[in-house]
Amino acid sequence: MRRLYYTADIDRDVNVRVPGRVAAGSLDRGFGDAPRFSSSERGLGAILDLLDGIGIRGTLFFEGRTSEVIDCARAAGHSIGVHGYDHEDLTSLGDDHLRGTLARSFSAVSDRVGRPVCSRAPYMTADARVLSAVRRLGIRHDSSSYTDVGSPSEPFLLEDMVEFPVNKARDPGGKVIAAYLWPMHEGRRGPGDYIAMAASAEGDIVIADHSWHMVETRDGGVMSREDADRASDDVRRVIEGILDIGYRPGVIRWSRTSSSWTVPVSGPGWRTTIGPPGAVGSRWTGRRPRRASCRTSMRSRRPCASAGSIPRSGRTRSWALSRGSLPARGRDGRSSTRRAAAGWSAWAS
Protein backbone atom coordinates (compact mmCIF):
# COMPACT_ATOMS: atom_id res chain seq x y z
CA MET A 1 0.00 0.00 0.00
CA ARG A 2 1.46 3.31 -1.07
CA ARG A 3 0.76 6.44 0.90
CA LEU A 4 0.41 10.07 -0.04
CA TYR A 5 1.58 12.60 2.51
CA TYR A 6 0.42 16.13 1.75
CA THR A 7 2.68 18.56 3.59
CA ALA A 8 2.90 22.35 3.62
CA ASP A 9 5.44 24.77 5.03
CA ILE A 10 3.76 27.66 6.82
CA ASP A 11 6.45 30.21 5.99
CA ARG A 12 6.50 33.98 5.95
CA ASP A 13 5.27 35.26 2.59
CA VAL A 14 7.66 34.63 -0.32
CA ASN A 15 10.54 33.96 2.05
CA VAL A 16 13.99 35.00 0.90
CA ARG A 17 17.43 34.87 2.44
CA VAL A 18 18.67 38.29 3.54
CA PRO A 19 22.44 38.72 3.25
CA GLY A 20 24.05 39.24 6.64
CA ARG A 21 20.94 38.21 8.55
CA VAL A 22 19.97 34.85 9.99
CA ALA A 23 16.24 35.54 9.81
CA ALA A 24 14.60 35.28 6.41
CA GLY A 25 12.70 38.18 4.92
CA SER A 26 9.93 38.44 2.37
CA LEU A 27 10.58 39.23 -1.29
CA ASP A 28 11.00 42.99 -1.67
CA ARG A 29 8.12 44.30 -3.73
CA GLY A 30 9.12 47.91 -3.28
CA PHE A 31 8.47 48.17 0.45
CA GLY A 32 11.59 46.48 1.81
CA ASP A 33 12.28 42.91 2.77
CA ALA A 34 10.71 42.82 6.25
CA PRO A 35 8.76 39.59 6.69
CA ARG A 36 5.09 39.66 5.76
CA PHE A 37 2.53 37.06 6.77
CA SER A 38 -0.84 37.94 5.24
CA SER A 39 -0.57 35.61 2.25
CA SER A 40 0.66 32.81 4.48
CA GLU A 41 -2.39 33.25 6.72
CA ARG A 42 -4.86 33.37 3.84
CA GLY A 43 -3.13 30.44 2.16
CA LEU A 44 -3.29 28.37 5.32
CA GLY A 45 -7.04 28.95 5.38
CA ALA A 46 -7.26 27.79 1.76
CA ILE A 47 -5.24 24.66 2.54
CA LEU A 48 -7.38 23.79 5.54
CA ASP A 49 -10.58 24.29 3.51
CA LEU A 50 -9.12 22.13 0.78
CA LEU A 51 -8.12 19.28 3.09
CA ASP A 52 -11.48 19.45 4.85
CA GLY A 53 -13.22 19.26 1.49
CA ILE A 54 -11.29 16.16 0.45
CA GLY A 55 -11.64 14.67 3.92
CA ILE A 56 -7.97 14.09 4.71
CA ARG A 57 -5.47 15.48 7.18
CA GLY A 58 -2.16 17.03 6.25
CA THR A 59 1.20 17.69 7.84
CA LEU A 60 1.93 21.38 8.44
CA PHE A 61 5.40 22.68 9.27
CA PHE A 62 5.21 26.03 11.06
CA GLU A 63 7.89 28.62 11.47
CA GLY A 64 7.74 29.67 15.13
CA ARG A 65 7.43 33.33 14.16
CA THR A 66 4.64 32.70 11.67
CA SER A 67 2.68 30.72 14.25
CA GLU A 68 2.84 33.74 16.54
CA VAL A 69 1.63 36.19 13.90
CA ILE A 70 -1.14 34.40 12.02
CA ASP A 71 -4.37 32.79 13.14
CA CYS A 72 -3.54 29.10 13.06
CA ALA A 73 -5.89 27.57 15.63
CA ARG A 74 -7.83 25.71 12.93
CA ALA A 75 -4.71 23.76 12.01
CA ALA A 76 -4.72 21.94 15.33
CA GLY A 77 -6.33 18.77 13.98
CA HIS A 78 -3.49 18.16 11.55
CA SER A 79 -0.04 16.78 12.16
CA ILE A 80 2.11 19.71 13.30
CA GLY A 81 5.80 20.24 12.70
CA VAL A 82 8.47 22.91 13.25
CA HIS A 83 10.26 24.78 10.46
CA GLY A 84 12.80 26.92 12.29
CA TYR A 85 11.81 30.07 14.15
CA ASP A 86 12.67 32.77 11.61
CA HIS A 87 13.22 30.44 8.65
CA GLU A 88 16.91 30.17 9.45
CA ASP A 89 19.39 27.95 7.66
CA LEU A 90 19.82 25.77 10.74
CA THR A 91 23.12 24.33 9.53
CA SER A 92 24.66 27.81 9.74
CA LEU A 93 23.95 28.27 13.45
CA GLY A 94 26.36 27.53 16.29
CA ASP A 95 25.34 24.85 18.77
CA ASP A 96 23.81 27.16 21.38
CA HIS A 97 22.07 29.29 18.75
CA LEU A 98 20.71 26.15 17.09
CA ARG A 99 19.33 24.71 20.30
CA GLY A 100 17.84 28.05 21.34
CA THR A 101 16.22 28.58 17.93
CA LEU A 102 14.64 25.15 17.89
CA ALA A 103 13.43 25.43 21.48
CA ARG A 104 11.88 28.82 20.75
CA SER A 105 10.15 27.46 17.66
CA PHE A 106 8.93 24.37 19.49
CA SER A 107 7.52 26.48 22.31
CA ALA A 108 5.79 28.98 20.00
CA VAL A 109 4.19 26.30 17.86
CA SER A 110 3.18 24.26 20.93
CA ASP A 111 1.45 27.28 22.46
CA ARG A 112 -0.47 28.30 19.36
CA VAL A 113 -1.16 25.21 17.28
CA GLY A 114 -0.20 22.05 19.10
CA ARG A 115 2.79 20.02 20.14
CA PRO A 116 5.08 19.49 17.16
CA VAL A 117 5.73 15.86 16.29
CA CYS A 118 7.89 16.36 13.22
CA SER A 119 10.27 18.82 11.62
CA ARG A 120 11.35 20.13 8.25
CA ALA A 121 14.48 22.23 8.00
CA PRO A 122 14.07 25.57 6.18
CA TYR A 123 15.62 25.40 2.70
CA MET A 124 15.69 21.61 3.21
CA THR A 125 19.11 21.94 4.81
CA ALA A 126 19.62 19.54 7.66
CA ASP A 127 22.65 17.62 8.77
CA ALA A 128 23.40 15.18 11.57
CA ARG A 129 23.91 18.01 14.08
CA VAL A 130 20.56 19.62 13.23
CA LEU A 131 18.71 16.31 13.37
CA SER A 132 20.30 15.53 16.71
CA ALA A 133 19.18 18.90 18.11
CA VAL A 134 15.64 18.32 16.81
CA ARG A 135 15.66 14.84 18.32
CA ARG A 136 16.45 16.31 21.73
CA LEU A 137 13.10 18.11 21.64
CA GLY A 138 11.37 14.75 21.57
CA ILE A 139 10.59 14.98 17.86
CA ARG A 140 10.96 11.66 16.06
CA HIS A 141 9.94 12.46 12.49
CA ASP A 142 11.65 14.59 9.87
CA SER A 143 11.07 15.53 6.24
CA SER A 144 14.11 17.52 5.11
CA SER A 145 15.47 15.31 2.37
CA TYR A 146 14.77 14.30 -1.20
CA THR A 147 14.61 10.88 -2.79
CA ASP A 148 14.15 9.85 -6.38
CA VAL A 149 10.94 8.14 -7.40
CA GLY A 150 12.83 5.28 -8.96
CA SER A 151 13.66 3.83 -5.57
CA PRO A 152 11.40 2.59 -2.80
CA SER A 153 10.51 5.66 -0.81
CA GLU A 154 8.92 4.48 2.38
CA PRO A 155 9.97 6.37 5.51
CA PHE A 156 13.38 5.24 6.72
CA LEU A 157 15.39 5.49 9.89
CA LEU A 158 17.95 8.29 10.02
CA GLU A 159 19.81 9.43 13.12
CA ASP A 160 17.17 7.72 15.26
CA MET A 161 14.49 9.70 13.48
CA VAL A 162 12.01 8.48 10.91
CA GLU A 163 12.72 10.37 7.70
CA PHE A 164 9.98 11.06 5.13
CA PRO A 165 11.78 12.20 1.97
CA VAL A 166 10.17 14.51 -0.59
CA ASN A 167 10.22 12.92 -4.03
CA LYS A 168 12.04 14.00 -7.15
CA ALA A 169 12.11 12.63 -10.69
CA ARG A 170 12.86 13.44 -14.27
CA ASP A 171 9.85 13.89 -16.52
CA PRO A 172 9.69 12.34 -19.99
CA GLY A 173 11.33 15.49 -21.34
CA GLY A 174 14.29 14.95 -19.04
CA LYS A 175 13.48 17.92 -16.82
CA VAL A 176 13.83 17.56 -13.06
CA ILE A 177 10.60 17.74 -11.11
CA ALA A 178 10.34 17.77 -7.34
CA ALA A 179 7.17 17.07 -5.43
CA TYR A 180 7.25 20.65 -4.17
CA LEU A 181 4.28 22.29 -5.88
CA TRP A 182 5.79 25.75 -6.37
CA PRO A 183 6.33 25.41 -10.15
CA MET A 184 2.62 24.66 -10.48
CA HIS A 185 1.71 27.79 -8.56
CA GLU A 186 4.10 29.76 -10.75
CA GLY A 187 2.41 28.39 -13.88
CA ARG A 188 5.27 26.14 -14.98
CA ARG A 189 3.74 22.74 -14.13
CA GLY A 190 0.26 21.27 -14.17
CA PRO A 191 -1.46 18.85 -11.79
CA GLY A 192 -0.96 16.04 -14.30
CA ASP A 193 2.82 16.28 -13.91
CA TYR A 194 2.62 15.44 -10.22
CA ILE A 195 0.05 12.69 -10.73
CA ALA A 196 2.25 11.08 -13.39
CA MET A 197 5.22 11.38 -11.06
CA ALA A 198 3.27 9.56 -8.34
CA ALA A 199 2.25 6.89 -10.82
CA SER A 200 5.93 6.30 -11.56
CA ALA A 201 6.89 5.97 -7.90
CA GLU A 202 7.55 2.64 -6.28
CA GLY A 203 6.73 3.72 -2.75
CA ASP A 204 5.14 6.50 -0.78
CA ILE A 205 5.04 10.04 -2.05
CA VAL A 206 5.50 13.22 -0.02
CA ILE A 207 4.01 16.29 -1.68
CA ALA A 208 5.20 19.65 -0.33
CA ASP A 209 3.67 23.08 -0.62
CA HIS A 210 3.87 26.60 0.85
CA SER A 211 0.82 28.25 2.38
CA TRP A 212 1.64 31.67 0.87
CA HIS A 213 1.85 30.08 -2.56
CA MET A 214 -1.89 29.40 -2.51
CA VAL A 215 -2.59 33.13 -2.89
CA GLU A 216 0.65 34.78 -4.07
CA THR A 217 3.30 33.90 -6.63
CA ARG A 218 6.92 34.92 -6.61
CA ASP A 219 6.68 36.21 -10.16
CA GLY A 220 3.18 37.65 -10.23
CA GLY A 221 2.47 38.97 -6.73
CA VAL A 222 -0.79 38.55 -4.87
CA MET A 223 -3.33 36.61 -6.92
CA SER A 224 -6.80 37.69 -7.91
CA ARG A 225 -9.59 35.75 -6.22
CA GLU A 226 -10.13 33.77 -9.43
CA ASP A 227 -6.48 32.80 -9.64
CA ALA A 228 -6.38 31.84 -5.96
CA ASP A 229 -9.43 29.65 -6.49
CA ARG A 230 -7.66 28.08 -9.46
CA ALA A 231 -4.56 27.46 -7.35
CA SER A 232 -6.64 25.66 -4.72
CA ASP A 233 -8.34 23.66 -7.42
CA ASP A 234 -4.97 22.63 -8.88
CA VAL A 235 -3.78 21.36 -5.49
CA ARG A 236 -7.06 19.50 -5.02
CA ARG A 237 -6.61 17.88 -8.44
CA VAL A 238 -3.09 16.77 -7.49
CA ILE A 239 -4.23 15.20 -4.23
CA GLU A 240 -7.37 13.58 -5.62
CA GLY A 241 -5.54 12.42 -8.73
CA ILE A 242 -2.90 10.66 -6.66
CA LEU A 243 -5.51 9.11 -4.38
CA ASP A 244 -7.37 7.92 -7.48
CA ILE A 245 -4.39 5.84 -8.62
CA GLY A 246 -4.42 3.87 -5.38
CA TYR A 247 -2.57 5.88 -2.77
CA ARG A 248 -3.91 6.14 0.78
CA PRO A 249 -3.66 9.44 2.63
CA GLY A 250 -1.19 9.63 5.50
CA VAL A 251 0.13 12.12 8.00
CA ILE A 252 3.60 12.39 9.46
CA ARG A 253 3.07 11.78 13.14
CA TRP A 254 4.88 9.92 15.83
CA SER A 255 3.38 7.94 18.63
CA ARG A 256 4.89 5.18 20.64
CA THR A 257 3.19 2.07 21.82
CA SER A 258 4.88 -0.38 24.15
CA SER A 259 7.62 -1.33 21.77
CA SER A 260 6.72 -0.03 18.35
CA TRP A 261 7.11 3.08 16.30
CA THR A 262 3.90 3.65 14.48
CA VAL A 263 2.80 5.82 11.62
CA PRO A 264 -0.93 6.41 11.93
CA VAL A 265 -2.49 7.45 8.67
CA SER A 266 -5.68 9.38 8.23
CA GLY A 267 -8.84 7.65 7.15
CA PRO A 268 -10.83 5.04 9.01
CA GLY A 269 -9.03 1.87 9.86
CA TRP A 270 -5.64 2.67 8.38
CA ARG A 271 -2.66 2.34 10.59
CA THR A 272 0.70 0.78 10.09
CA THR A 273 3.51 -0.22 12.37
CA ILE A 274 7.02 0.12 11.13
CA GLY A 275 8.49 -1.67 14.10
CA PRO A 276 10.80 -0.74 16.95
CA PRO A 277 13.79 1.41 16.01
CA GLY A 278 16.26 -1.46 16.07
CA ALA A 279 14.09 -3.69 13.94
CA VAL A 280 13.43 -0.94 11.44
CA GLY A 281 17.11 -0.27 11.05
CA SER A 282 18.15 -3.85 10.63
CA ARG A 283 15.33 -4.66 8.26
CA TRP A 284 15.97 -1.67 6.09
CA THR A 285 19.67 -2.05 6.10
CA GLY A 286 19.21 -5.30 4.27
CA ARG A 287 16.87 -3.86 1.70
CA ARG A 288 18.50 -0.52 1.13
CA PRO A 289 22.22 -0.53 1.77
CA ARG A 290 22.56 3.02 0.45
CA ARG A 291 20.71 4.32 3.48
CA ALA A 292 22.72 2.27 5.90
CA SER A 293 25.72 3.73 4.15
CA CYS A 294 24.44 7.22 4.69
CA ARG A 295 23.84 6.61 8.37
CA THR A 296 27.35 5.36 8.74
CA SER A 297 28.55 8.36 6.88
CA MET A 298 26.66 10.76 9.12
CA ARG A 299 27.83 9.04 12.26
CA SER A 300 31.35 9.56 11.17
CA ARG A 301 30.40 13.19 10.66
CA ARG A 302 30.96 13.13 6.96
CA PRO A 303 28.62 15.76 5.53
CA CYS A 304 26.00 13.62 3.87
CA ALA A 305 24.28 16.62 2.36
CA SER A 306 27.20 17.99 0.46
CA ALA A 307 27.36 17.34 -3.21
CA GLY A 308 28.94 14.11 -4.27
CA SER A 309 30.35 13.31 -0.89
CA ILE A 310 28.93 9.85 -0.49
CA PRO A 311 30.95 6.98 -1.87
CA ARG A 312 29.01 4.55 -4.00
CA SER A 313 29.74 0.91 -4.42
CA GLY A 314 27.68 -1.87 -5.87
CA ARG A 315 24.01 -1.14 -5.31
CA THR A 316 24.73 1.44 -2.66
CA ARG A 317 23.31 4.73 -3.74
CA SER A 318 23.28 8.19 -2.32
CA TRP A 319 20.55 10.55 -1.29
CA ALA A 320 20.58 14.26 -0.68
CA LEU A 321 19.44 16.11 2.40
CA SER A 322 19.40 19.45 0.72
CA ARG A 323 20.97 20.35 -2.54
CA GLY A 324 19.61 17.69 -4.81
CA SER A 325 22.89 17.26 -6.59
CA LEU A 326 23.88 13.77 -5.57
CA PRO A 327 23.82 11.08 -8.20
CA ALA A 328 21.02 8.56 -8.03
CA ARG A 329 19.69 5.99 -10.42
CA GLY A 330 16.26 4.45 -10.56
CA ARG A 331 15.57 0.76 -10.86
CA ASP A 332 13.99 -0.58 -13.98
CA GLY A 333 10.25 -0.21 -13.56
CA ARG A 334 8.28 -3.39 -13.92
CA SER A 335 4.96 -2.64 -12.30
CA SER A 336 1.93 -1.68 -14.33
CA THR A 337 1.91 1.80 -12.83
CA ARG A 338 5.53 2.17 -13.85
CA ARG A 339 4.68 1.13 -17.39
CA ALA A 340 1.74 3.54 -17.38
CA ALA A 341 4.16 6.29 -16.47
CA ALA A 342 6.68 5.30 -19.10
CA GLY A 343 9.29 7.92 -19.69
CA TRP A 344 9.65 8.94 -16.06
CA SER A 345 12.98 8.28 -14.49
CA ALA A 346 15.11 8.99 -11.47
CA TRP A 347 15.72 12.68 -11.14
CA ALA A 348 19.49 12.69 -11.12
CA SER A 349 20.52 9.73 -13.16
**112-131 residues near Zn ion, rule: CB under 5 A:** 122
9, 142, 202, 209: which one binds Zn ion (CB under 5 A): 9
Closer of 9 and 159 to Zn ion (Cβ): 9
Binding span for Zn ion by CB under 5 A among 1-9, 145-153, 270-278, 291-299: 1-9
Residue 11, interface with Zn ion (CB under 5 A)? yes
Residue 136 beta carbon to Zn ion: minimum distance, rounded to whole angstroms = 22
Residue 231 beta carbon to Zn ion: minimum distance, rounded to whole angstroms = 18
Size of the site for Zn ion (CB under 5 A): 3
Residue 319 beta carbon to Zn ion: minimum distance, rounded to whole angstroms = 20
Residue 209, interface with Zn ion (CB under 5 A)? no
Residue 13, interface with Zn ion (CB under 5 A)? no
Residue 180 beta carbon to Zn ion: minimum distance, rounded to whole angstroms = 10
Closer of 9 and 142 to Zn ion (Cβ): 9
What string of H, E and C letters represents the secondary structure of the chain? CCEEEEEEEECCCCEECCCCCCCCEECCCCCCCCCCCHHHHHHHHHHHHHHHHHCCCCEEEECHHHHHHCCCHHHHHCEEEECCCCCCCHHHCCHHHHHHHHHHHHHHHHHHCCCCCEECCHHHCCCHHHHHHHHCCCCCEECCCEEECCCCCCCEEECCEEECCEEEEECCCCCEEECECHHHHCCCCCHHHHHHHHHHCCCCEEEEEECHHHCEECCCEECCHHHHHHHHHHHHHHHHHHHHCCCEEECCCCEECCCCEEEECCCCCCEEEEECHHHHHHHHHHHCHHHHHHHHHHHCCCCCCCCCCCCCCCCCCCCECCCCCCCCCCCCCCCHHHHHCCCCECCCC
In 10 A of CB 278, how many CB atoms?
Answer: 10
Closer of 11 and 142 to Zn ion (Cβ): 11
Closer of 153 and 211 to Zn ion (Cβ): 211
Residue 121 beta carbon to Zn ion: minimum distance, rounded to whole angstroms = 9
Closer of 11 and 127 to Zn ion (Cβ): 11
Binding span for Zn ion by CB under 5 A among 8-16, 102-110, 155-163, 326-334: 8-16
Residue 87 beta carbon to Zn ion: minimum distance, rounded to whole angstroms = 6
Closer of 164 and 261 to Zn ion (Cβ): 164
Closer of 9 and 13 to Zn ion (Cβ): 9
Residue 105 beta carbon to Zn ion: minimum distance, rounded to whole angstroms = 12
Judged by the rule CB under 5 A, the positions of this chain that interact with Zn ion are: 9, 11, 122
